[in-house]
Every structure is written in structure tokens, then in C-alpha cells.
């Protein structure tokens, strides 16, 4: 498992370096390519006799790709729920762990670890690629990349009641802050 963890760490460091030149959302595609390569390598395990490298190299590619995908997709998953971001993050974690439990349990029911890893891991990789395609094809689901500085609530207003009037006032304040930020960024 050290190979998997090291690959994820290396992917995170490469992702960090690439973030200086491009946005997180643009790195999802290359991350999915690494996941697809890892998925194909895992599927080939069904044709070849498993060995350390035949198991860990595809898993390493998969983990490297996950490091590219997780930051932007976590942001995209939480963006529609700014008022309940904590609950949304908890639900996302629950779904991740629940999916892992479900797929792991199904793998245990197969009774053959080589068959389970050679079929279920690629299935999850293909699912990730297909769901990202759905995400990109439906513009109402594809949130724009966040602003560099997203304004928050004014000091002393963090316990605002959740009423339509309070939301409208908050939206007006955000729009005014956004307009001021755009005027400050405009060339003179």
C-alpha cells in the first residue's frame, strides 16, 4: 500500500506544481486519463498472472489520477450548497465510504481477489469517466471555476436568519463586493 500512497502523494505534488499554470478544473481530464490507464492495467490482471508490479503499477496510476481529480470535483460537489457546506461534505464522505463498502463487499462475495480487483476497480474507473462526461455535458451541473477571492458575510452577520429577505440582502452585498473587485482589477 506504500506504492499507492506514494503515488497519491506524488500526484498531489505534481498537481500543486501544475496549479501555478492552470486551474484545477482543467487538470481533471488528465487525471481521468491516469485513472483510465490504471483501470486498463487492473483489467489486464485477469489475463496475466499477478505479480507485485502487475498489481501495484496500475494501482499507482489510479491513485496518481485521483490526486488530480479530487480537488476540483470536491469543490464542484460542494459549490451548490454554500449554506450547508458542512452537511454536504459529510454526505459526500458518506457516499465515498458507502461506495467503497458496497464495492468491497461485492468483491468479497466474488470470492476471488484477482477477479474482484481485475473487474471492480476498472468498473469504478469507467464509472468515474462516464460521470465526468455527464457532468460536462450538462452546463447547469458544471459550476464555473470559483472567483479568486469569494467574499464572505460581513463581520457580525454570520448568524443571519435563513429567510428570503436575508438571502436577498446577502446576494445584494455579494454583488456589490463583486462589482468593487472587478473595478479594482480593471486596467486603468
Q: Provide the pLDDT for residue 146.
A: 54
Ranges of residues in the chain with a pLDDT under 50 are 144, 150, 153-158, 160, 188
Burial class (CB in 10 A: 0-12, 13-18, 19+), 118: buried
Nearest to 127 by CA among 36, 43, 56, 12: 36
Q: Provide the pLDDT for residue 156.
A: 47
Give this prediction's pTM: 0.71
Nearest to 47 by CA among 106, 115, 107, 103: 115
Q: Provide the pLDDT for residue 141.
A: 61
Residue spans of the domains in the chain: they are 2-137, 149-188
Q: Provide the pLDDT for residue 162.
A: 61
Q: Provide the pLDDT for residue 177.
A: 80
Q: Provide the pLDDT for residue 136.
A: 83
In which residue are the cell numbers 486498463 written? Answer: 40
3-state secondary structure the chain: CHHHHHHHHHHHHHHHHHCCCCCCHHHHHHHHHHHHHHHHHHHHCCCCCCCHHHHHHHHHHHHHHHHHHHHHHHHHHHCCCHHHHHHHHHHHHHHHHHHHHHHHHHHHHHCCHHHHHHHHHHHHHHHHHHHHHHHHHCCCCCCCCCCCCCCCCCCCCCCCCCCHHHHHHHHHHHHHHHHHHHHHHCCC
For residue 124, report the phi and psi dihedrals to the nearest 5 degrees. -70, -35
Q: Provide the pLDDT for residue 23.
A: 85
CATH code assigned to 2-137: 1.20.1250.20
Amino acid at each position: 500500500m506504500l506504492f499507492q500512497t506514494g503515488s497519491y502523494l506524488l500526484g498531489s505534488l505534481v498537481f500543486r506544481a501544475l496549479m501555478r499554470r492552470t486551474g484545477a478544473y482543467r487538470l481533471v481530464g488528465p487525471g481521468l486519463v491516469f485513472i483510465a490507464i490504471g483501470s486498463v492495467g487492473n483489467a489486464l490482471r485477469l489475463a496475466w498472472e499477478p505479480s507485485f508490479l502487475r498489481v501495484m503499477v496500475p494501482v499507482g496510476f489510479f491513485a496518481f489520477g485521483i490526486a488530480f481529480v479530487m480537488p476540483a470535483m470536491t469543490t464542484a460537489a460542494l459549490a451548490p450548497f454554500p449554506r450547508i457546506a458542512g452537511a454536504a461534505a459529510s454526505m459526500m464522505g458518506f457516499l465515498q465510504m458507502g461506495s467503497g463498502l458496497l464495492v468491497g463487499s461485492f468483491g468479497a462475495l466474488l470470492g476471488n481477489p484477482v477477479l474482484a480487483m481485475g473487474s471492480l476497480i476498472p468498473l469504478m474507473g469507467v464509472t468515474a469517466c462516464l460521470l465526468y462526461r455527464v457532468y460536462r455535458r450538462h452546463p447547469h451541473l458544471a459550476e464555473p471555476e470559483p472567483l479568486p477571492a469569494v467574499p464572505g458575510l460581513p463581520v457580525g452577520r454570520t448568524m443571519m436568519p435563513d429567510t428570503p429577505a436575508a438571502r436577498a440582502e446577502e446576494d445584494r452585498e455579494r454583488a456589490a463586493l463583486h462589482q468593487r473587485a472587478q473595478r479594482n482589477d480593471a486596467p486603468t
